[in-house]
Amino acid sequence: MAVHYCALCRRTSFAGRRHLYGAAHRRRLREALGRLQEEVAAARAALGGAAVRRYEPAEHERRVWCLCCGRAVRRDWRRGGLALPQAGLLHHLAGPEHRRETARFWRENRAEAALRERFLVSPEDYGRFAAALAQALGAYEEREEERIRQMAAGIREAERRQRETVQAALEVGAAAGSRAPHAEPELCAGPSVCSSTAAPARDSSHNAEQPGPSSMQTGPDLNWMESGQALTFIGHQETEGKGNVHTGAKPPWLTEEDEGDGSEQQIGPSYEEFLRQKDKQKLKKLPADRVGANFDHTSQTGDSWLPSFGRVWNHGRRWQSRHQFRAESGEKKKKR
């Protein structure tokens, strides 16, 4: 019996070509053709109306696996920043290579001959689709150009209004400057007289229409005081030895503190305390019954005496250390 390898089922059959008529092969063939038929039906639906959209990588970079040709085909075409939906798949389905490979696939897998035309696109249908696609692409480009022209016109109009506003402001400023040298100062008998006589002039100048968008105020309003009111001068208020940023003094965050001031207080532990605490943390990691663990640092001994290391070196005889060690070792073994 001949050996046959089925690429669709990905298995070797020792029954020869009888494998193509088996239930397993027919089921896999039907499922694979069903998946491809969904993509071909979506592409055929696009034959009636060509569309042009903005290019989106997540949407228009998709590929479709062609079961007949055994390769992935790009579904949409791209032209600059535009995407042409279903154009790539329709171009592949209408090509002679796909038609030839479809005939071979149907012959090798013994598929139903009536279904083969559903997976093909005639050159005439694709030609009409290509013409409609070119027309839709031209119309889209014309709309984009018109939109760009409208935006450019709006920008030019805004710039023209801005130039007119600036020119009007300059003319008003030049007129006010030409009238200022000819004005004669008037002497006032008192604050109340000056305020009453100068109020109408201020009101008239304030009520005049200022050039610019929505009469935007470009400086502080100095005419806030009502007419007829007078201000009383109380003199310069200064604090001896101290000042603030309004009087020209140095701000507090730039002043240098006196080093001899006793009010300085250190925050947190000192560096020496930190080192001592660090040494204590290291000693905690050592075994508790090591030699010198119970060293008495407070004992008062002379220079001629040996240092104490705990146990019998501090209290008792030397042989007691051995018995004490054995007793402790026995207790530890019993606890275990």
- The list of the chain residues with pLDDT below 70 reads 1, 179-231, 233-243, 257-266, 301-319, 332-336
- The pLDDT score that the predictor gives to residue 230 is 65
Q: What is the pLDDT of residue 48?
A: 79
- Distance separating alpha carbons of residues 43 and 66, to the nearest angstrom: 13
Total residue count of the chain as it appears in this document: 336
* pLDDT score recorded for residue 306: 60
pLDDT at 190: 47
Q: How far apart are CA 335 and CA 323, in angstroms?
A: 18
Q: CA 192, CA 228: separation in Å to the nearest integer?
A: 7
CA distances from 211 to 33, 85, 125, 169 (A): 74, 53, 65, 6
What does the pLDDT read at residue 152? 94
pLDDT of residue 317: 64
Q: What is the pLDDT of residue 292?
A: 72
Q: What is the pLDDT of residue 58?
A: 81
User: How crowded is the C-beta side of 240, counted as CA atoms within 13 Å?
Assistant: 0
Supply the pLDDT for residue 207: 47
Alpha-carbon distance 282 to 276, whole Å?
Answer: 10
pLDDT tens across 204-255, in order? Answer: 444 444 444 444 545 555 555 555 566 676 666 666 556 677 777 777 787 7
Backbone angles phi, psi at 105, to 5 degrees: -65, -40
> What per-residue confidence (pLDDT) applies to 200?
46
Q: Which pLDDT score is estimated for 335?
A: 62
> What distance in Å separates the CA atoms of residue 328 and residue 162, rounded to the nearest whole number?
97
Output the pLDDT for position 286. Answer: 86
Residue 192 confidence (pLDDT): 45
- Compute the 3-state secondary structure of the chain and give helix, strand, coil in percent, each to the nearest 5: 55, 5, 40
185 burial type by CB count under 10 A (0-12 exposed, 13-18 middle, 19+ buried): exposed
- pLDDT at residue 303, rounded to an integer: 62
Q: What is the pLDDT of residue 237?
A: 61
Distances from the Cα of 263 to the Cα of 141, 258, 266, 273, angstroms: 78, 10, 10, 22
Token couple for 164: 């007119």
